[in-house]
Amino acid sequence: MPEESQHQVRDSALARQRLRLWLQMLKAVRHVESDLREKLRSGYDTTLSRFDVLAALHAAPEGMKMSELSLQLVVSNGNVTGVVDRLVTQGLLERQTVESDRRAFLVKITDKGRALMDEMTGAHLGWIDEMFENVSETDAARGISIMLDIRHKG
């Protein structure tokens, strides 16, 4: 019986350590997101939400239905609609009706949107590289592995 209680103590210590890991991950993500939001606002007069929508459509030149876009971004259709409306108004995206479903819209990035995203993704890469400058290649690879393990757990 004493062996079992030692195991529980060890698991409890590990559970507390994993909780500390989660809290540090959360703080790090919030810190990086806050910095990115400010850089996007000051450098490009845009938001992280608009950047995310443009990035998704930049990677899918054939376009996406609104439902596919919201699924990929893990946000509601309503949230995506407002962002897309703004980007369409700015000439960065365009909407097309879907022939097979007149109620659905295909959203595509425009040439203007693609040019802006090309510029912003270069800046974004530099910002992230600067924020993570103290993370070695080995630590980055290990961190990615840990994040993948967490995501594929359940």
- Residue 78: the pLDDT is 76
Give the distance, in angstroms, between the CA of residue 68 and the centroid of all CA atoms in the same chain. Answer: 15
pLDDT on residue 113: 97
pLDDT for the residue numbered 104: 79
Q: What is the average per-residue pLDDT within 33-37? A: 97
Among residues 70, 101, 100, the alpha carbon closest in space to that of 84 is found at 70
Residue 1 pLDDT greater than 50, yes or no: no
Which has the higher per-residue pLDDT, 101 or 80?
Answer: 80
Parallel, antiparallel or unpaired: strands 64-65 and 93-98: unpaired
The domains of the chain, with CATH numbers, are: 45-151 (1.10.10.10)
